[in-house]
Amino acid sequence: MSPTISGNMVTVDSKGRIVLPQEVRERLGIEPGTEVDIREEGGKAVVEPEDDPEKVIERMERLISEAATDRDAPNEEMHPIAADHAETIRRQATSDDADE
C-alpha cells in the first residue's frame, strides 16, 4: 500500500487548478510536462502520472480524432502542434530508455 500524504492542503483556484506540493511531485516522478491521469475513485480525485508514452500518444490521438469528428473536419493528419507534442513525448521516452 502506498503512503498516504497528509498535511498538504492546497486551494483550488477559480479555473479549477491546484498545485501539487513539491514533495508529492518528487515522490511520484511528476516533472514539468508529465502527462497525468485524473479520475474520480470512491468520491476522491486521484492523480496518477502516465509513464507509458505510447498510452499518452494514443489518448492524444483519440482526443484529436474525436474533436475533428465533432467539427466534421478531415482527420487525415495530426495537427502540427499535436504532432510536435507527440514527437516530444517519443523523444523523452527514448531518452529515458537510454538513461536506464
Residue 32's nearest CA partner among 99, 94, 92, 95 is 92
Give the pLDDT of residue 96: 64
Asked if residue 28 has pLDDT above 50, the reply is yes
Domains identified in the chain and CATH numbers: 11-50 (2.10.260.10), 53-99 (no CATH)
List, as one string, the DSSP characters of the chain: -PPPP-S------TTS-----HHHHHHHT--TT--EEEEEETTEEEEEE---HHHHHHHHHHHHHHHHHHTT---SS--HHHHHHHHHHHHHHHHHHHH-
Q: pTM of the entire structure? A: 0.46
With b for 16 or more beta-carbon neighbours within 10 A and e for fewer, the 6-18 pattern comes to eeeeeeeeeeeee
* Between residues 93 and 43, the one the model is more confident about: 43
Q: What is the tens place of the pLDDT at every residue in 32-67?
A: 888 888 889 999 988 888 777 777 788 778 878 777
